[in-house]
Amino acid sequence: MSEHAQGAAIARDWHDRSLPLADTDELRNALEEANLQTLLMVYVHLTHDAAMLDVFSNYIRPPFSVPGTEVPDEYLQELRTKLHHVLTTPGAAREDDPSEALMQRMMSVGVGEEVADEFLPLLMDQIGFKLPKPRKEIEGRPAPQSGFKVLVIGAGMTGLAASLKLEEAGYEHIVIEKNPEVGGTWYENRYPGVGVDTPSHFYSYSFEITPEWTHYHPKGVDMQKYLLHVADKYDLRRNIRFNTEVVSLRYDDAEAVWNVTVRGKDGAEEVIRANAVINAHGPVNRWKWPDIPGREEFQGKMMHTATWDPSTRIEGKRVGIIGTGASAAQLIGAIADQVGDLTVFMRTRYWSIYNPEINHEVSPGMKFALRYIPHFREWFRFRVYWFAADGLYGNVVKDPEWPVDSPSVSAANEGARQWALAHLEAKFHDRPDLKEKLTPDFPIFSKRIILDAGWFDALKQPNVTLEDGGIECFTPKGIRTKDGKEYEFDIIICATGFDVANMMGKLEIHGRGGRSLRDEWGLDDPRSYLGVTVPGYPNYFMTVGPNSAPNHAAGQNLISEAQVHYIIECLDWINANGARAVEPKTEAFEAWNRQVEEQMKHMIWTHPRANSYYNNSKGRVFLSWPWRLVDLWNQTRGPNKEHFELH
């Protein structure tokens, strides 16, 4: 089956969730298997029976808190019986939605802790209960100016969202994609074991929530199928030019347009004129080789995880892997029992935590509930979001009373550290050598965390060696370490990450008066206003720009939607005023960066022992958003017009 066909196949007959449902074994099985808290939310949503919340509020607690008393069986059976009646009996369910006050109480009971007022607008938006009307259907909104054209760079998760929302807003646009298909990261990364840290039922668009995940954390192929499905359903390919790369952007001051030079697969170049540019090429798009001499000398096969060759046969081979980050951990867990000998070269240590759901498949009953029971998928998405997002923020905020030289930054952070240490001890109590090599000396959450999906077990296999002595160079036959050891390999795999700090990649961007963004940013010191705009570059919009990445939590999909929303709000403002372009004022840009730097002093990423790809070569934290996701969502509802100027 082709990739395009796989995308179409994901959409089945789960769109119809009308009542009543047939009283089938599948339904009864779903009521037994599906998540209890979510079933409770569905029942109250359909009946407005708040009394049932009182029954369960004494038993539901958030994960990793003091455990509550187990729910009595009679209460569980009562809930399932009542919900079964509502789902199968004509007229038993109410047709009106609960009040906002009741929904807030449902949320608080469902997660076992207070859901404050400030979260409600974000939650209603992100869990899919209040889908916004397409902009071009909003009464009184001016139609976009005739001939106003937007160019989007990239057709990954953010670029597809931009194309869809631009279409809904009535903007003429074109998407330039260097690959032959949509997907971005999930098209390119195909190494064994590739997957997503964010839980499946949140890592998707709020306007296209799917029940078709096979695992609670999506595999790479699942993500690619989902994005193919979105491209199919919304007919997005008609605005995409594939196998084409953007080379440069140059702003024409007199015409207030961007001259965008693109290069096709045949090497031919042309210039596309666009009134606005949305750069959605993503931070994990520019993979990099390790800075180790002699790479060209190796006579075996060498590849980067981001350029995995699916024809590669690894069975029985001598394999070397450089790196122990997220990609390496996934790959090693997937191939350790297939290769002959595997040597892992560790450049840095990472905290690893165990999540029992990381490899769990979604059961048939749970999938039935997600497909057919009204409101179940939205309420389950809420639950997943709540525990994967701002609930984690306390882990990354420094307690000013906490010792500066401690390997943690607060009591909450120390608790998470002890939890991770307990996992290390459980896995390596019989291998003190590995435990010592793998125990980090920096605060947990100050670098990206690895979800252990077989990574630790793989390191204990007899054919696996963990080498932490440092690499001196590549050799014709393999790798020489700094202590003089020689390793021979058939295959070397570089899991050495991406050039995240060089946010321009190979692009050349020239703004007003010919000014150069590369000159202003250098190689690794990008700065912006709100992670989206830069003064001097009118109508140039970034996504996942400087200091806008949610490094404390899951939520890149939320960031993508929020920033696309913000960008189109900016375009609508231009349009409504008959202007040609917008850009942030220099003083607003400078003030926002001062706010970032001040807040960053209180964040875990500026701890003396913290250093990761969130930092540039001078140690500045250029990537992380230092506030909560709800704060970013609120700030991207539209431009602060005092901070911008229209041209």
Pair (368, 418) in one structural domain: no
- pTM of the model as a whole: 0.95
The percent of residues above 70 in pLDDT, for the chain, comes to: 97
Is 431 in the same domain as 450? yes
pLDDT band at 408 (very low <50, low <70, confident <90, very high): very high
In a domain, 96, yes or no: yes
pLDDT digits (tens, 9 = 90+) for 516-560: 999 999 999 999 999 999 999 999 999 999 999 989 988 889 999
* Model pLDDT, residue 165: 98
625 or 9, which is more confident? 625
Is residue 303 situated within a structural domain? yes
Q: What is the pLDDT of residue 3?
A: 52
Tell me, yes or no, whether 334 and 279 share the same domain: no
Q: Is residue 188 part of a domain?
A: yes
Among candidate residues 494, 517, 544, the one where a domain is terminated: 494
| C-alpha distance from residue 274 to each of 216, 265, 429, 540, 581 (Å) | 41, 21, 61, 10, 11
Lowest mean pLDDT among 83-87, 392-396, 601-605: 392-396
Residue 131 clears pLDDT 90, i.e. is over it: no
Report which of 16, 27, 613 is spatially closest to residue 327, judged by C-alpha positions.
613
Is there a single domain that holds both residue 229 and residue 340?
A: no
Among residues 466, 494, 522, the one where a domain terminates is 494
Same domain? 527 vs 639? yes
pLDDT in tens, 353-380: 987 778 889 999 999 999 999 999 999 9
Q: How confident is the model at residue 11 (pLDDT cuts 50, 70, 90)?
A: very low
Question: Quick one: 451 and 588 in the same domain?
Answer: no
For the chain, how many structural domains are there in total?
Answer: 3
In a domain, 461, yes or no: yes
Domain of 322 in residue numbering reads as 295-358+406-494
- The terminus-to-terminus CA distance of the chain in angstroms comes to 50
If asked whether residues 412 and 514 sit together in one domain, one would say: no
Pick the range with the lowest mean pLDDT from 4-18, 66-80, 148-162, 428-442: 4-18
Note the pLDDT of residue 7: 43
Q: Using one digit for the tens of pLDDT, what is the confidence trace for 178-195?
A: 999 999 999 999 999 999
| Range 396-418 average pLDDT | 95
At 1 the pLDDT is 47
- DSSP, collapsed to helix, strand or coil, labels residue 585 as coil
Residue 346 lies in a domain: yes
pLDDT in tens, 560-579: 999 999 999 999 999 999 99
**Does some domain include residue 560?**
yes
For residue range 139-154, list pLDDT tens digits in order: 999 999 999 999 999 9
Query: Do 312 and 185 have their domain in common?
Result: no
For residues 623-631, give the mean pLDDT: 97
- Model confidence at 17: pLDDT above 90: no
Same domain? For 335 and 278 the reply is no
Domain shared by 178 and 75, yes or no: no
The amino acid present at 614, given as its one-letter code, is Y
Can you read off the two tokens belonging to residue 311?
């024809």
Ordered strands of the 471-474 beta sheet: 471-474, 478-481, 486-488
pLDDT digit string (tens) for 277-295? 999 998 777 889 999 999 9
449 within a domain of the structure (yes/no)? yes
Q: How far is CA 138 from CA 129, 573, 641, in A?
A: 19, 15, 22
Report pLDDT for 359.
81
CATH code for position 579: 3.50.50.60
Residue 174, in any domain of the structure = yes
Q: Are residues 309 and 429 in the same domain?
A: yes
